[in-house]
Chain A
Amino acid sequence: MDLSQYAELFLAESREHLSACNQLLLEWERTPANPAPVGGLFRAVHTVKGMAATMGYARVTDIAHRTENLLDLLRRGSRPATDELLQLLFRARDALETAVELSVVGREDELDVAEVVADLEGAAAHLAGPARSAPVAAPAVEPAAAPGGGRLVQVTLRAEAPLKGGRALLVLKRAQGLGAVQGVTPPQAAFESDDFDGRFSFRLDSSAAAAEIERVARGAGDVEHVSVGGEERRAAGPRAAAAAGAPPEATPEKGRHIRVDLRRLDELMDLIGELVTVRGRLNELAAARRDPAVDDVAIQISRLSADLQAGIIQARMTPVWQVFDRFPRLVRDLARELDKQVTFRVEGKEIELDRAILDELGDPLLHLLRNAVDHGIETPAERRRRGKQPEGEIVLAAVRERASVAISVSDDGRGIDRARILDRARREGLVDPHAEALSDDQLLRVLARPGFSTADAVTSVSGRGVGIDVAVTRIRALGGSIDIRSEVGKGTSFVLRLPVTLAIVRALIAGVGRERYALPLTYVAETVEFGVQPTTIVEGREAIVLHDRVVPLVHLRRMLGVSGDAPPRCPIIVLEMGERRSGIVVDGMLGQQEIVVKGFDPPQGTLPVFSGATIMGDGIPALILDAGGLV
């Protein structure tokens, strides 16, 4: 049978179980006296073992088997977890994870598991104690003629038969169908021992022919040899039982759930994208025709394709826990390593995001969490000095907001020392030399400059910049934004805002010169008219004041270098990302429509304000403006 077809399923399911192991181990570590998590751990490892054995992955099976043994001992003993044991179990889990990942790509041999295997063995031997060496039953006794009435039946199971005790019991059960069974040797209790060698005898009170008794005994499977009443009978041929009747005709029927390769969903999404584009064209044609019959069809097609699109997007939605679940372990390990005390909370695990976005989130979140533990949370001593609980708290939370999802990483640590950052930013010419303070936005801009916090910044500026440029770049590429809030002594929080899906978004279509540009609605707050609102100059930038807030303006025409004059009255599209706002001045508004986002390789020298391209209803491409780059 071709096992490779099951490899992906094996991988996906093993990952789920190993992720569950992490959660359970963390839970156990929090309350070591409560052995409740051990049952779940045992089951998870046991399941991985069974799957790995089926796939023929020897190393995974081996580590899982030994881990399972240890867990079984812990489970039976209802023992509290010692720190040493927990560390070993964490290590074993990690080794399993590595082994699983390497196995499916055929690199199992690269893994050296000797050390963890030896430690698992040692721990199990220690737990089992001396009682283990006492044999359950004397197994090697040659089954002799058992006393009592009836005919003596002696059975030898095939040497390669697994779990011989179970098989022997099946033989006895079948024999009981012919008459009373007595004098089982060795006693039945020995069947439960792993040492049982597959030779046993019993007395059967039956008038059935010897051949019949043998046939019935062999029917239990894996029987090598049967002798009845001293009259020895040999097997007619190996696997006599195997030929028992051809299987019925094939009518394959599968279960109710299927797993779908993500690439198939991507393909479907592409097709839907093309359908949406054509739908746009159809709508334009229908509008030009003014034929009610055509209108009707166009409306129906619009509705159907919208449903289809919603269905496919739904199929791509994945709960954030699939990425979040690895973080509790990471935060714990890091805190341990740095001698910090951290409680880690995760909220909104069930919030869903497009799989493609979720897959990109792991690294940025990792950077932010690492920073929070390393630079945000103070040492227990320092926290005490500041009148805080010695244990710091980090919260990772997901919240759905309109068309986007906000994911925040907050700590209650020392906060960022703005004075020092400002100082440095001034020296490096990143801000106005006369700037008195850094707003949150400016702070993020400074921190997110590649290489800003290298060298001494890592220590003097609490290293906040480490990886932030990476995180910001990644989130921006997904059409999202990052905001920062930080207060000295109180803590820091980063908020990532992301569109729920990447592939198809509703956008405003704006005209500048002879080109059209699309602006995803996700971050559009409102539109106002330029020339109606008085403009003012704030920090050297033209701005309008809207709802008592300053909104700096960006003239797209100027920015894109379009020649000619702008029309006298231009619309301003106000973008909002968290607390940041920006007004984009365009020539005209051409309406709203769904656009299909296509990847985009900007030619050199292109302004960093485009996130992709799309095909309009008339087949002409338009660039998609990146809200993050404009705000």
Chain B
Amino acid sequence: MSHTVLVCDDAIFMRTMISDILAQAGFEIVGEAETGSQAVEKYRQLKPDLVTMDIVMPDMGGIDAVREIVKQDPDAKILMCSAMGQQALVVEAIQAGAKDFVVKPFQPSRVLEAVQRVLG
């Protein structure tokens, strides 16, 4: 059975691209979220095997969403999607419980490597 993924990003562009990369590699995209609070809610509903999480999102940011999700499920596997220059935020996200991170611009191979590390 393929792994299920929840894709969280406020940009449709990014969600589409991440979904495409993962779907082509055989993952099943079970949900998308545009804000941190949506991500928390959908995680509760969908219990995905993997979450990709943007850091900067309206409403509730990605790092707070990581904290909330990890509180619910300490084994949650969350991959942060960050941008160059977000060193401190990535460090904070990992301290909050994110399992790995990828840096935009995404290269599909790097994304898949990170996903394998998180799921492995």
Contacts and interface: CB of A to CB of B under 8 A. Distances in A.
Interface of A: 1, 6, 9-10, 13, 40, 42-43, 46-47, 49-51, 53-56, 65, 69, 162-166, 169-170, 173, 191-194, 196, 219-221, 239, 241-242, 244-245, 247-257, 259
Contact of A241 (B58, B85, B87, B113): B113
A43 B10 contact: yes
Interface in B1-52: 1-3, 7, 10-17, 19, 21, 23-30, 32
A252 B84 CA distance: 29
18 contacts: A9-B16, A43-B10, A53-B105, A54-B105, A65-B84, A162-B103, A163-B101, A166-B93, A169-B95, A192-B88, A221-B113, A221-B117, A242-B109, A242-B113, A244-B113, A244-B116, A251-B23, A252-B23
A253 B86 contact: no
B60 interface: no
B70 interface: no
Contacts of A257: 12
A282 B94 CA distance: 67
Given A13-B12, A191-B91, A162 B84 contact: yes
Interface in B76-98: 82-88, 90-95
Contacts of A40: 58
B91 A248 contact: no
A53 B26 contact: no
B117 A244 contact: yes
B116 to A, nearest CB: 5
Contacts of A173: 94
B84 A53 contact: yes
Nearest to A11: B13
With most chain B CB atoms within 10 A of its CB, the pick from A10, A250, A253 is A253
B11 A6 contact: no
Contact of B25 (A163, A169, A250): A250
Nearest to A195: B87
Contacts of B99: 170
Contact of A54 (B85, B87, B106): B106
A166 B113 contact: no
Contacts of B108: 1
A50 B12 contact: no
B14 A50 contact: yes
A47 B29 CA distance: 22
Contact of B32 (A65, A196, A255, A259): A255
B85 A255 contact: no
A46 B56 contact: yes
Contact of B28 (A9, A50, A165, A253): A253
A380 to B, nearest CB: 38
Contact of A46 (B19, B83, B93): B83
A163 B27 contact: no
Contact of A51 (B13, B25, B94): B13
A166 B15 contact: no
B120 interface: yes
Contacts of A164: 87
A47 B56 contact: yes
Contact of A53 (B16, B25, B58, B83): B83
